[in-house]
Homo-oligomer: A and B are copies of this chain.
Protein backbone atom coordinates (compact mmCIF):
# COMPACT_ATOMS: atom_id res chain seq x y z
CA UNK A 1 0.00 0.00 0.00
CA UNK A 2 1.32 3.41 -0.98
CA UNK A 3 1.67 5.67 2.06
CA UNK A 4 1.57 9.44 2.54
CA UNK A 5 3.57 10.38 5.64
CA UNK A 6 2.72 13.58 7.48
CA UNK A 7 4.60 14.94 10.49
CA UNK A 8 2.82 17.23 12.92
CA UNK A 9 4.13 19.25 15.81
CA UNK A 10 1.81 19.05 18.81
CA UNK A 11 2.19 21.64 21.55
CA UNK A 12 1.03 19.24 24.27
CA UNK A 13 2.73 17.52 27.21
CA UNK A 14 4.84 14.54 26.08
CA UNK A 15 2.57 12.08 27.88
CA UNK A 16 -0.42 13.19 25.77
CA UNK A 17 1.25 13.18 22.37
CA UNK A 18 0.56 9.55 21.48
CA UNK A 19 -3.17 9.88 22.17
CA UNK A 20 -3.25 13.20 20.31
CA UNK A 21 -1.62 11.57 17.28
CA UNK A 22 -4.08 8.64 17.35
CA UNK A 23 -6.97 11.11 17.42
CA UNK A 24 -5.55 13.03 14.44
CA UNK A 25 -5.03 9.81 12.47
CA UNK A 26 -8.80 9.24 12.77
CA UNK A 27 -9.83 12.90 12.47
CA UNK A 28 -8.08 13.35 9.13
CA UNK A 29 -9.65 10.23 7.62
CA UNK A 30 -12.80 8.58 8.98
CA UNK A 31 -13.72 11.25 11.56
CA UNK A 32 -15.93 8.85 13.50
CA UNK A 33 -15.62 7.51 17.07
CA UNK A 34 -13.14 4.70 17.61
CA UNK A 35 -16.04 2.29 18.26
CA UNK A 36 -17.10 2.56 14.61
CA UNK A 37 -13.57 1.81 13.39
CA UNK A 38 -13.30 -1.14 15.76
CA UNK A 39 -16.47 -2.66 14.28
CA UNK A 40 -15.26 -2.34 10.68
CA UNK A 41 -11.72 -3.73 10.38
CA UNK A 42 -11.23 -2.61 6.75
CA UNK A 43 -11.38 1.01 7.95
CA UNK A 44 -8.40 0.49 10.24
CA UNK A 45 -6.54 -1.40 7.53
CA UNK A 46 -7.18 0.72 4.45
CA UNK A 47 -8.31 4.17 5.54
CA UNK A 48 -7.28 5.34 9.03
CA UNK A 49 -3.79 6.78 9.40
CA UNK A 50 -1.21 4.77 11.34
CA UNK A 51 0.92 6.53 13.95
CA UNK A 52 4.49 5.56 13.11
CA UNK A 53 6.56 7.67 15.46
CA UNK A 54 6.06 10.00 18.40
CA UNK A 55 9.09 11.81 19.82
CA UNK A 56 10.28 15.25 20.88
CA UNK A 57 11.79 17.41 18.12
CA UNK A 58 14.87 19.64 18.28
CA UNK A 59 12.79 22.44 19.79
CA UNK A 60 11.52 20.18 22.59
CA UNK A 61 7.95 20.15 21.22
CA UNK A 62 6.46 16.77 20.35
CA UNK A 63 6.47 15.45 16.77
CA UNK A 64 4.29 12.66 15.47
CA UNK A 65 4.50 11.02 12.05
CA UNK A 66 1.31 9.52 10.69
CA UNK A 67 1.21 7.32 7.59
CA UNK A 68 -2.04 7.63 5.62
CA UNK A 69 -2.96 5.21 2.83
CA UNK A 70 -2.43 7.24 -0.38
CA UNK A 71 -5.83 6.13 -1.67
CA UNK A 72 -7.52 8.41 0.90
CA UNK A 73 -6.32 11.41 -1.11
CA UNK A 74 -8.09 10.20 -4.27
CA UNK A 75 -4.88 11.56 -5.89
CA UNK A 76 -6.75 14.87 -6.07
CA UNK A 77 -5.08 18.22 -5.31
CA UNK A 78 -7.84 19.42 -2.96
CA UNK A 79 -8.49 16.14 -1.18
CA UNK A 80 -4.74 15.80 -0.58
CA UNK A 81 -4.81 19.01 1.50
CA UNK A 82 -7.89 17.72 3.28
CA UNK A 83 -6.14 14.51 4.36
CA UNK A 84 -2.89 16.28 5.25
CA UNK A 85 -4.27 19.14 7.33
CA UNK A 86 -8.03 19.72 6.77
CA UNK A 87 -9.66 19.59 10.19
CA UNK A 88 -6.45 19.41 12.20
CA UNK A 89 -5.51 22.88 10.92
CA UNK A 90 -8.36 24.15 13.10
CA UNK A 91 -6.86 22.77 16.30
CA UNK A 92 -4.55 25.44 17.73
CA UNK A 93 -2.03 23.00 19.21
CA UNK A 94 -1.13 21.41 15.84
CA UNK A 95 1.30 22.49 13.10
CA UNK A 96 1.97 20.51 9.94
CA UNK A 97 5.75 20.39 9.62
CA UNK A 98 6.66 17.69 7.12
CA UNK A 99 5.32 15.64 4.23
CA UNK A 100 6.64 12.54 2.54
CA UNK A 101 4.73 12.31 -0.71
CA UNK A 102 4.69 8.90 -2.43
CA UNK A 103 5.51 8.59 -6.13
CA UNK A 104 1.88 8.00 -7.14
CA UNK A 105 0.71 11.31 -5.67
CA UNK A 106 3.77 13.13 -6.99
CA UNK A 107 3.03 12.00 -10.50
CA UNK A 108 -0.72 12.67 -10.16
CA UNK A 109 0.02 16.29 -9.26
CA UNK A 110 3.10 16.51 -11.46
CA UNK A 111 4.89 19.50 -9.94
CA UNK A 112 6.48 22.23 -12.10
CA UNK A 113 6.01 21.84 -15.85
CA UNK A 114 8.87 24.23 -16.70
CA UNK A 115 10.67 24.73 -13.41
CA UNK A 116 14.05 26.26 -12.77
CA UNK A 117 15.46 25.24 -16.16
CA UNK A 118 12.33 26.45 -17.94
CA UNK A 119 12.87 29.90 -16.47
CA UNK A 120 16.56 29.81 -17.44
CA UNK A 121 15.45 28.96 -20.96
CA UNK A 122 12.77 31.68 -21.07
CA UNK A 123 15.26 34.30 -19.88
CA UNK A 124 18.28 32.91 -21.75
CA UNK A 125 20.38 33.05 -18.58
CA UNK A 126 22.59 29.99 -18.42
CA UNK A 127 24.23 29.96 -15.06
CA UNK A 128 24.15 33.15 -13.06
CA UNK A 129 21.59 34.30 -10.49
CA UNK A 130 18.55 35.93 -12.08
CA UNK A 131 17.05 39.37 -11.49
CA UNK A 132 13.40 40.17 -10.95
CA UNK A 133 11.32 43.24 -10.17
CA UNK A 134 7.72 44.38 -10.32
CA UNK A 135 5.76 46.96 -12.29
CA UNK A 136 3.85 48.94 -9.67
CA UNK A 137 2.22 50.64 -7.86
CA UNK A 138 -1.46 50.03 -8.21
CA UNK A 139 -3.01 53.34 -9.27
CA UNK A 140 -0.83 54.00 -12.31
CA UNK A 141 -2.19 53.69 -15.84
CA UNK A 142 -1.17 50.94 -18.28
CA UNK A 143 0.93 53.55 -20.11
CA UNK A 144 2.78 54.62 -16.94
CA UNK A 145 3.46 50.99 -16.01
CA UNK A 146 4.63 50.25 -19.56
CA UNK A 147 7.07 53.14 -19.30
CA UNK A 148 8.45 51.59 -16.13
CA UNK A 149 8.56 48.22 -17.89
CA UNK A 150 10.69 49.84 -20.60
CA UNK A 151 13.20 51.12 -18.01
CA UNK A 152 13.52 47.68 -16.44
CA UNK A 153 13.82 45.95 -19.82
CA UNK A 154 16.49 48.31 -21.14
CA UNK A 155 18.42 47.82 -17.90
CA UNK A 156 18.38 44.08 -18.59
CA UNK A 157 16.28 42.79 -15.68
CA UNK A 158 15.44 39.16 -16.45
CA UNK A 159 11.88 38.85 -15.15
CA UNK A 160 9.43 41.68 -14.50
CA UNK A 161 6.23 40.63 -12.80
CA UNK A 162 3.11 42.61 -12.08
CA UNK A 163 2.74 43.67 -8.48
CA UNK A 164 0.38 41.14 -6.84
CA UNK A 165 -1.98 44.06 -6.21
CA UNK A 166 -2.56 44.71 -9.92
CA UNK A 167 -5.95 43.26 -10.79
CA UNK A 168 -8.47 44.11 -13.52
CA UNK A 169 -9.00 47.63 -12.22
CA UNK A 170 -11.15 50.21 -14.02
CA UNK A 171 -8.14 52.58 -13.90
CA UNK A 172 -5.76 49.90 -15.26
CA UNK A 173 -7.56 47.04 -17.03
CA UNK A 174 -5.77 43.70 -17.30
CA UNK A 175 -5.69 43.40 -21.08
CA UNK A 176 -4.61 47.00 -21.68
CA UNK A 177 -1.82 46.63 -19.13
CA UNK A 178 -0.51 43.34 -20.50
CA UNK A 179 -0.63 44.66 -24.06
CA UNK A 180 1.21 47.88 -23.15
CA UNK A 181 3.87 46.13 -21.07
CA UNK A 182 4.57 43.53 -23.75
CA UNK A 183 4.90 46.30 -26.32
CA UNK A 184 7.48 47.97 -24.05
CA UNK A 185 9.36 44.67 -23.76
CA UNK A 186 9.52 44.31 -27.55
CA UNK A 187 10.67 47.89 -28.05
CA UNK A 188 13.45 47.50 -25.52
CA UNK A 189 14.48 44.22 -27.11
CA UNK A 190 14.87 45.96 -30.47
CA UNK A 191 17.38 48.26 -28.75
CA UNK A 192 19.23 45.75 -26.61
CA UNK A 193 18.82 42.49 -28.51
CA UNK A 194 17.50 40.73 -25.42
CA UNK A 195 13.91 40.45 -24.15
CA UNK A 196 12.86 40.58 -20.49
CA UNK A 197 10.21 38.10 -19.44
CA UNK A 198 7.04 39.91 -18.32
CA UNK A 199 4.75 37.94 -15.97
CA UNK A 200 1.23 39.38 -15.60
CA UNK A 201 -0.63 38.76 -12.33
CA UNK A 202 -3.70 36.52 -12.76
CA UNK A 203 -6.32 37.13 -10.09
CA UNK A 204 -10.04 36.49 -9.64
CA UNK A 205 -12.55 33.66 -9.49
CA UNK A 206 -11.35 30.65 -11.51
CA UNK A 207 -13.22 31.44 -14.72
CA UNK A 208 -11.59 34.89 -14.67
CA UNK A 209 -8.13 33.48 -13.93
CA UNK A 210 -8.31 31.03 -16.83
CA UNK A 211 -9.60 33.74 -19.17
CA UNK A 212 -6.72 36.03 -18.11
CA UNK A 213 -4.30 33.17 -18.82
CA UNK A 214 -5.71 32.86 -22.34
CA UNK A 215 -5.40 36.60 -22.92
CA UNK A 216 -1.81 36.67 -21.58
CA UNK A 217 -0.79 33.72 -23.77
CA UNK A 218 -2.46 35.21 -26.84
CA UNK A 219 -0.68 38.52 -26.33
CA UNK A 220 2.64 36.69 -26.00
CA UNK A 221 3.50 36.80 -22.30
CA UNK A 222 6.45 34.47 -21.62
CA UNK A 223 5.37 33.74 -18.00
CA UNK A 224 2.47 34.42 -15.63
CA UNK A 225 2.09 34.85 -11.86
CA UNK A 226 -0.65 34.03 -9.34
CA UNK A 227 -1.04 33.85 -5.54
CA UNK A 228 -1.90 30.20 -4.72
CA UNK A 229 -3.18 30.76 -1.18
CA UNK A 230 -5.41 33.60 -2.41
CA UNK A 231 -6.95 32.04 -5.52
CA UNK A 232 -6.84 28.56 -3.90
CA UNK A 233 -4.09 25.93 -4.12
CA UNK A 234 -6.21 23.62 -6.32
CA UNK A 235 -6.87 26.53 -8.71
CA UNK A 236 -3.16 27.24 -8.87
CA UNK A 237 -2.56 23.57 -9.63
CA UNK A 238 -5.07 23.59 -12.49
CA UNK A 239 -3.50 26.82 -13.76
CA UNK A 240 -0.04 25.22 -13.81
CA UNK A 241 -1.48 22.31 -15.84
CA UNK A 242 -3.19 24.62 -18.35
CA UNK A 243 -0.43 27.20 -18.80
CA UNK A 244 1.86 27.06 -21.81
CA UNK A 245 4.40 29.29 -20.02
CA UNK A 246 6.12 29.13 -16.59
CA UNK A 247 3.98 30.05 -13.58
CA UNK A 248 5.36 32.07 -10.66
CA UNK A 249 3.80 31.62 -7.20
CA UNK A 250 3.29 34.73 -5.06
CA UNK A 251 2.95 34.46 -1.23
CA UNK A 252 0.02 36.85 -0.78
CA UNK A 253 -2.66 35.67 1.71
CA UNK A 254 -0.55 32.70 2.86
CA UNK A 255 -1.02 33.79 6.48
CA UNK A 256 -4.78 33.98 6.23
CA UNK A 257 -5.38 31.87 9.29
CA UNK A 258 -4.94 35.06 11.26
CA UNK A 259 -8.42 36.31 10.50
CA UNK A 260 -10.49 36.65 13.65
CA UNK A 261 -12.75 33.57 13.82
CA UNK A 262 -16.04 35.45 13.86
CA UNK A 263 -14.96 37.64 10.94
CA UNK A 264 -13.95 34.70 8.73
CA UNK A 265 -16.87 32.40 9.48
CA UNK A 266 -19.49 35.05 10.29
CA UNK A 267 -18.62 37.85 7.89
CA UNK A 268 -16.44 36.72 5.02
CA UNK A 269 -18.17 33.42 4.27
CA UNK A 270 -21.55 35.20 4.19
CA UNK A 271 -20.17 37.85 1.85
CA UNK A 272 -18.79 35.08 -0.39
CA UNK A 273 -22.19 33.46 -0.77
CA UNK A 274 -22.48 30.68 1.82
CA UNK A 275 -26.14 29.85 2.42
CA UNK A 276 -25.16 27.91 5.54
CA UNK A 277 -21.86 28.00 7.41
CA UNK A 278 -20.57 24.96 9.27
CA UNK A 279 -18.19 25.84 12.08
CA UNK A 280 -16.52 24.01 14.94
CA UNK A 281 -18.62 25.08 17.87
CA UNK A 282 -18.15 25.43 21.58
CA UNK A 283 -17.47 22.17 23.42
CA UNK A 284 -16.45 19.19 21.32
CA UNK A 285 -12.96 18.68 19.94
CA UNK A 286 -12.04 22.24 18.93
CA UNK A 287 -12.79 24.37 21.95
CA UNK A 288 -14.04 27.48 20.13
CA UNK A 289 -15.04 29.89 22.93
CA UNK A 290 -18.78 30.24 23.50
CA UNK A 291 -18.70 34.03 22.93
CA UNK A 292 -16.94 33.54 19.59
CA UNK A 293 -19.63 31.09 18.52
CA UNK A 294 -22.41 33.48 19.47
CA UNK A 295 -20.71 36.43 17.77
CA UNK A 296 -20.25 34.33 14.64
CA UNK A 297 -23.87 33.12 14.59
CA UNK A 298 -25.10 36.65 15.20
CA UNK A 299 -23.07 38.00 12.27
CA UNK A 300 -24.46 35.37 9.94
CA UNK A 301 -28.06 36.29 10.75
CA UNK A 302 -28.17 40.00 11.53
CA UNK A 303 -29.14 42.59 8.89
CA UNK A 304 -26.24 43.43 6.56
CA UNK A 305 -27.34 45.72 3.76
CA UNK A 306 -29.11 43.72 1.09
CA UNK A 307 -27.32 40.45 1.87
CA UNK A 308 -29.51 37.51 2.83
CA UNK A 309 -28.87 35.98 6.26
CA UNK A 310 -26.97 32.68 6.36
CA UNK A 311 -27.81 29.68 8.51
CA UNK A 312 -25.27 28.98 11.31
CA UNK A 313 -24.37 25.28 11.60
CA UNK A 314 -22.38 24.45 14.74
CA UNK A 315 -20.69 21.03 14.65
CA UNK A 316 -17.40 19.46 15.65
CA UNK A 317 -18.32 16.85 18.22
CA UNK A 318 -21.83 17.65 19.52
CA UNK A 319 -23.24 14.92 21.79
CA UNK A 320 -26.96 14.15 21.94
CA UNK A 321 -27.21 15.36 25.53
CA UNK A 322 -25.96 18.80 24.45
CA UNK A 323 -28.63 19.39 21.81
CA UNK A 324 -31.20 21.06 24.00
CA UNK A 325 -28.69 23.47 25.54
CA UNK A 326 -27.39 24.44 22.11
CA UNK A 327 -30.86 25.28 20.79
CA UNK A 328 -31.30 27.53 23.84
CA UNK A 329 -27.91 29.08 23.15
CA UNK A 330 -28.34 29.82 19.43
CA UNK A 331 -32.14 30.10 19.14
CA UNK A 332 -34.28 28.62 16.37
CA UNK A 333 -32.41 30.01 13.38
CA UNK A 334 -29.73 27.37 13.62
CA UNK A 335 -28.97 23.93 12.24
CA UNK A 336 -27.24 21.53 14.58
CA UNK A 337 -24.72 19.18 13.00
CA UNK A 338 -24.32 15.92 14.91
CA UNK A 339 -22.02 13.52 13.14
CA UNK A 340 -20.11 10.52 14.44
CA UNK A 341 -22.06 10.33 17.67
CA UNK A 342 -25.12 9.04 15.74
CA UNK A 343 -23.03 6.04 14.66
CA UNK A 344 -21.36 5.25 17.95
CA UNK A 345 -23.79 2.46 18.96
CA UNK A 346 -23.97 -0.58 16.66
CA UNK A 347 -27.33 -1.03 14.93
CA UNK A 348 -28.79 2.07 16.54
CA UNK A 349 -28.23 4.76 13.89
CA UNK A 350 -31.90 5.24 13.15
CA UNK A 351 -32.89 5.24 16.83
CA UNK A 352 -30.19 7.75 17.77
CA UNK A 353 -31.15 9.90 14.79
CA UNK A 354 -34.78 9.88 15.95
CA UNK A 355 -33.65 10.92 19.42
CA UNK A 356 -31.67 13.80 17.84
CA UNK A 357 -34.67 14.95 15.80
CA UNK A 358 -36.97 14.72 18.81
CA UNK A 359 -34.57 16.67 21.03
CA UNK A 360 -34.38 19.53 18.53
CA UNK A 361 -38.17 19.63 18.04
CA UNK A 362 -38.72 19.67 21.77
CA UNK A 363 -36.09 22.32 22.49
CA UNK A 364 -37.46 24.52 19.69
CA UNK A 365 -40.99 24.22 21.06
CA UNK A 366 -39.87 25.16 24.58
Say whether A309 contacts B115, CB under 8 Å.
Answer: yes
Closest to A98 in B: B263
Are the CB atoms of B137 and A76 closer together than 8 Å? no
- Main secondary structure, interface of A, reads mixed
Bound CA span A342–B158, Å: 14
Say how far A260's CB is from chain B's closest CB, in angstroms: 4
Closest CB in chain B relative to A284 CB, distance in Å: 12
- For the complex, is A219 an interface residue (Cβ under 8 Å from B)? no
* Closest chain B residue, CB of each to CB of A126: B332
Contact with B along A183-214 (1 / 0, CB 8 A): 00000000000000000000111111100000
* Interfacial residues of chain A within 293-311, with CB under 8 A of chain B in the complex: 300-301, 304-311
Proximity bits, A90-126, B CB within 8 Å = 1, else 0: 1110111111010100110111111111110000000
User: A336 on the interface (CB 8 Å rule)?
Assistant: yes
Minimal beta-carbon separation of A81 from chain B (angstroms): 6
Q: How far is the CB of A106 from chain B (nearest CB, A)?
A: 5
How distant is A337 from chain B, measured CB to nearest CB, in Å? 4
What is the chain B residue whose CB lies nearest that of A171? Answer: B71
- Interface flag for A46 (CB, 8 Å): yes
For residue A89, which residue of chain B has the nearest CB?
B255
Contact at A274–B240, with CB atoms within 8 Å?
yes
Task: Tell me the nearest residue of chain B to A148, going by C-beta.
Answer: B349
Which chain B residues border A204 with CB–CB below 8 Å? 76-79, 234
For residue A276, which residues in chain B have a CB less than 8 angstroms away from its CB? 116, 119, 159, 223, 246-249
Q: Is A215 on the interface with B (CB-CB < 8 A)?
A: no
Contacts of A257 in B (CB 8 A): 254-258
**In the bound complex, what is the Cα–Cα distance between A109 and B227 (angstroms)?**
20
Please give me the residue from chain B that is nearest to A313 by CB atom.
B132
A277 within 8 A of B: yes
Q: Assess whether A339 is in contact with B247, with CB atoms less than 8 Å apart.
A: no
For residues 306 through 344 of chain A, which have their beta carbon under 8 Å from a beta carbon of chain B? 306-311, 313, 315, 327, 330-340, 342-343
Interface residue? A180 (CB, 8 A):
no
The 17 sampled A-B contact pairs (Cβ below 8 Å) are A79-B165, A86-B252, A98-B263, A114-B308, A115-B308, A118-B308, A129-B327, A129-B330, A130-B335, A131-B336, A161-B337, A163-B339, A206-B207, A229-B256, A232-B233, A251-B265, A251-B279
20 additional contacts, CB 8 Å, given A111-B271, A232-B233, A249-B278? Answer: A28-B165, A29-B137, A47-B139, A77-B272, A78-B205, A79-B165, A82-B230, A85-B255, A89-B253, A109-B272, A109-B273, A113-B273, A127-B364, A129-B360, A161-B337, A205-B237, A206-B207, A232-B232, A240-B273, A248-B276
